[in-house]
Amino acid sequence: MKNYVNLKLTVLAFVMAVFTIQLSGQGPGMGPGRQMSEEDIKERIEDLSDTLKLSEEQHGKILEYELEFYNKRQVERQKFAGDREAMRAAMMEAREERDKKYAEVLTKVQMEKFKEIQEQRRSQMRRLYQENNSGSDDERPARGRGRN
């Protein structure tokens, strides 16, 4: 009897460990819609710098602009919490402002490549969004306020 109880506890502990590992891999920072950190921004600019062959000066300015854009987004998330349309409009305005600054720093060829990269990222995000929101309303669990 004692061995049976120990076996049940061992199996239960194993199952809980497996679920804990799976859930920790799906926490914030995974998948579309996650918020980026300043470290993510720096890594992305490193990749962009390699792709666009940026000079040291260009790299520094682009990083500065991107961190400025990141900080504006953080403020706007707080300011427009719950008002998606107002937040979207503010984000688009900030993105246009950032892109104008990029155009002052990048060459024409670099700017064209940057726009291509941005469009690829948008397409990928749209595709991920559609994959995550596919199925009928009956099949999907309700998420967030006001969704059924």
Residue 21 within a domain:
no
Residue 4 within a domain:
no
pLDDT at residue number 19: 47
Residue 16 within a domain:
no
Residue 62 within a domain:
yes
Our measurement of the distance from residue 129's CA atom to the centroid of its chain's CA atoms, rounded to an integer in Å, reads: 12
pLDDT at residue number 100: 93
What whole-number distance in Å separates Cα of residue 28 and Cα of residue 135? 24
pLDDT at 2 over 80: no
* pLDDT tens sequence across 43-77: 999 999 999 999 999 999 999 999 998 988 888 88
Q: What is the domain range of residue 64?
A: 36-131
pLDDT at residue number 81: 82
Residue 109 within a domain:
yes
pLDDT at residue number 23: 41
Number of folded domains in the chain?
1
pLDDT at residue number 134: 76
* pLDDT tens sequence across 85-120: 988 888 889 889 989 999 999 999 999 999 999 999
pLDDT at residue number 116: 94
Residue 11 within a domain:
no
* pLDDT tens sequence across 7-45: 565 555 554 554 444 444 444 444 445 678 889 999 999
pLDDT at residue number 26: 41
Our measurement of the distance from residue 139's CA atom to the centroid of its chain's CA atoms, rounded to an integer in Å, reads: 25
Residue 91 within a domain:
yes
| Cβ neighbours around 48 below 10 Å, total | 19
Residue 5 in 3-state DSSP?
A: helix
The pTM of this model reads 0.61
Residue in 113, 101, 116, 119 with CA at minimum distance from that of residue 62: 101
Residues in the chain: 148
Residue 60 within a domain:
yes
